[in-house]
Amino acid sequence: MTTPQPTDNPPPDPAPPWHALPVEQVLARLACDPASGLSEADIAQRRAQGGENTLPEPPRRSTLAIIARQFKSPLIYILFVAAVLAIALSHYGDAVVILLVVLANALIGAFQEGRAERSMASLRRLSALHVRVLRGGHEMAIEARELVTGDVLLLAAGDAVGADARLIEAAQLQVAEAALTGESVPVSKAVPALPDETGLADRHNMVFSGTYATAGRARAVVVAIGTQTEVGRIAGMTESATEPQTPLEQRIAQFGRWLVVAALLLFVTVVALGLFRELPLADVLMVAISQMVSMVPEGLPVAMTIALAVGMQRMAGRGAIIRRLSAVETLGSTTVICTDKTGTLTRNEMTVGQLWLPGGLEVSVSGIGYAPEGELSVEDAATGPLLQAAALCNDAQLLPPEASRTEWSVLGDPTEGALLVLAVKAGIDLEKLARIAPREAELPFDADTKMMATRHRCADAPHRVFIKGAPEAVLGLCNAGDGALTQAARTAAEAMAGRALRVLAFAVVDDDRLDAGFGALAGRARLLGLVGQIDPPREEVKAAVAECRAAGIRPVMVTGDHKLTGLAIARELGIARDGDRAVDGAELERMGEADLRNDLDRIAVFARVHPAQKMRIVEALQAHGEVVAMTGDGVNDAPALARADVGVAMGITGTEVAKSAAKIIITDDNFSTIVGAVEQGRVVYGNLKKVILYLFATSIDEVVLLLLALLGGYPLPLAAVQILWINIVTEGTLTVNLVMDPPDGDEMKRAPVPKGDRLVDRTMLGRVLLMSSVAVLVTFGWYVWRLGQGAPIELVRTETFTLLAMCQWFNVLNCQSPTRSALALGLLKNPWLLGGLSLSMGLQALVLYAPPLNTLFYTVPLAPASLLLLAALASCVLWAEELRKLITRLGRRRVP
């Protein structure tokens, strides 16, 4: 049924303001039915009138702007100086080549940068803010950008507020508004209207875009979207700043600056040697500038951007959405993963398997899954109140099969869904029960109290409060005079937990003082019983845990369940091994910092921990030298997620607050996905190291070749434009494609990347020395030998130019793996690299055989037989590195 349309568009700043209007007038002005929300027709009309719920975004850079950005580089400035110098010396062909190289470099860089930007934009859309609304009588989750005025927002602890809205219902609602008002503590909210002049920070019947609920539940009607919200009015102050450089980007930038200094020293050295040799100044200057270009790692920034973008895309394809670039590099260094149990290690398909009733009666429950099929093993009058409490003290919905879904499903928390299934199995009509015992008030679940309570109007009691929560918390409210029952319940709860059951306790109080909190119920509650739920482990997690162990990563369970439940699951999955133990929140509270750090290596499970203790666990592990990934889903997990080296939020069960605090969102809530993301983090870092190795090795051989020729009294072995061609074109077609390498397959058999690992370590320097030495020996030896034969200098330079390019082709194959043979890897492993090699070879052929390019690059055509000989010589670079890899592999096999 279509809701009546408003007579005119809701004004963006109504008079009187929204907070001053009673709820009835707000709903009338917005023509909104709070029981069913807006219809599809209403939504379409209002979106056409008011647009999307978005703030102005910085304009997307045009293609021309991206191309222009490529010219803002020290490398390009050097090349322009070289072009001007060539023109001044009447070397017009050289100037044309240099300018064409500059243009080609800009186009390649613009293409790669544009592709990276599109990848980042698509990933940002994947992590867009979602909100819950009531539309057409149904609760649904939508992107916040889709909200329109008049939408009914549904808020619970951890939900982000997607638009400015007026409260129409509220139960213990608290909202964090620091981002908008600067208020450091959450603000309690209520429904009644307020005076017109009430300031923004005191409008307690409003919720605002950009804030989030920290406790309680509420319904609110949207009154402003987009630029009409309070945040929208100060949009200039809230625009997202450019993300700072990651530590790895900073280290690579510093590395690049060192190489620029080295390039300047090289320039001075080459000029000095050329003048000493009395070579033509023009030729010396051009070659010196070209060699300086060869020392500048022009391909490294682009390679870094592409490596991160490709890594993020691959992770997204496996269910891990990266929200902070720094997470990509930190993942490769992760040494500890602190993971929740429910839904991450287990399937989050809760099923009640056992009941315990006062008096010691145990009731088995058959059937698995959410289909209400199965039965209780016994019928007992005592089960009635327990099952009613399970159904009423509950915020989930049990949804039967229909056209859009083929199976029974749960809307809400799976634990509460399993309780509804239990009640239906026992023959309870949920809708009828809700009518005869309507809810009057509630205390929403709180991570600190580990309980929730609801008050109902029942036929035999005007005010009845049902309590649900952790056994130790609920038993603390029960009548202290019945110590035997309390002790029996504790023993039963521990026995159930030891069988890997998740245990909840239920109690009842006939009272109307719910607003006073749980303290007012202490000592007066009557225990109804215990409910044990089983959540089977995910089949793939045991293998993922073993993979973590092999990769030098220790998994640690951090759970809200009983420590015996957690320990049982941890032992089954291999998280807890012989000698490991579990510690609960109470024990952790009693431990000093020194004791905690000393025992960390033996604690596999932290149970019943509250948010502040999660933060303490992370900090203790970090103080122990660990790089910590921490999972979380609740609003109270946000501080620990932000404090961890890698905060991982759950995409299915996670609150919007947890997602905002995290660096990674796991879309399937699966531990195996986290392990896969760690592997990809190692792949990204490994590929960047491959690029650095390649650029370093290929730059050094050119420099040494030139210096040897100058010191030995030989003519310059390469023309300036030939040096530029090798550095810009030959390297440019290979560098970016090298970072596209897929995993080697042994990433998770290596130790974690040390935090602050050197970009150029001793092992890399050894490989650079070997590859450069062989390349220089081959090219310089050929150059000297051919000169000694009296071959024309143009032919010798062309052969040396081609031989050096071929050495770089073989070197890129060497860089694909530090230990595995390039012959075993195969070119088809990375089709991007195969394409780059093919392009580089084709361009080299053009330079050799196209007459106009012969003139520009001072080359002459080479006979096919000469090319085969040069290729055989260049392959010495490959065979030398293959020998080193073989020795390395044999050495590892001998290690016991």
Please list the active-site residues. 340
- For every residue of 710-724, DSSP letters joined together read HHHTPPPSS-HHHHH
**For residues 547 and 748, is the Cβ–Cβ distance under 8 A?**
yes
For residue 675, give every residue at least 6 positions away whose Cβ sits within 8 Å of its Cβ, in sequence order, or none: 337, 544, 547, 548, 553, 748
- Kindly give the pairing relationship between strand 336-339 and strand 628-632: parallel
| Whole-number CA gyration radius for the chain | 34
Sorted by sequence, the CB contacts under 8 Å of residue 598 that are 6+ apart come out as: none
Tell me the one-letter amino acid at 664: I
Distance CA 76, CA 240 (A): 30
Spatial separation of the C-alpha atoms in residues 809 and 693, rounded to whole Å: 14
Confirm if 733 and 709 have CB atoms less than 8 A apart. no
Q: 3-state class of 791 per DSSP? A: coil
What is the DSSP code (8-state) at residue 608? S
Q: Which residues of 332-371 are buried (b: 16+ CB within 10 A; e: fewer)?
A: bbbbbbbbbbbbbbbbbbbbbbbbbbbeeeebebebeebb
| Closest by Cα among 69, 77, 79 to 727 | 79
Please return the burial class of 500, using the count of CB atoms within 10 Å of its CB with bins 0-12, 13-18 and 19+.
Answer: buried
Tokens of 501: 């059951």
- Looking at 119-180, which runs of residues are DSSP E strands? 130-135, 138-143, 152-156, 164-176
Place of tokens 């915020």: 395
Token pair belonging to 13: 């700043």
| Phi, psi for 59 (deg, rounded to 5) | -60, 140
794 vs 776: CA distance, rounded Å: 20
Residue 853, token pair as written in the block: 């390019």
Terminal-to-terminal C-alpha distance of the chain:
76
Q: Left if phi > 0, otherwise alpha if psi is -120 to 50, otherwise beta: which for 552? A: left
Question: CB under 8 Å to 672, separation ≥6 — which residues?
Answer: 538, 540, 541, 543, 544
Find the helix or strand (DSSP H, E) in which 211 lies.
none
Please give the Cα distance from 180 to 219 (Å, whole number): 21
Question: Which SS3 state, helix, strand or coil, does residue 346 take?
Answer: strand
Place of tokens 């510690």: 583
CA atoms within 13 A on the CB side of 729: 25
CB 808 within 8 A of CB 699: no
Identity of residue 668: D
CA pair distance 181, 163, nearest whole angstrom: 15
Say how many residues make up the chain: 896
> What is the CB neighbour count within 10 angstroms for residue 193?
17
How far is the CA of 529 from the CAs of 421, 429, 461, 474, 733, in angstroms? 17, 21, 20, 10, 70
Residue 556 main-chain phi, psi, to 5 deg: -130, 130
The secondary structure of residue 636, as a DSSP letter, is: G
HSE of 129, CA atoms in CB hemisphere, 13 A: 21
Identity of residue 251? R
Name the token pair of 60: 């997307």
Phi, psi of 641 (to 5 degrees): -65, -40
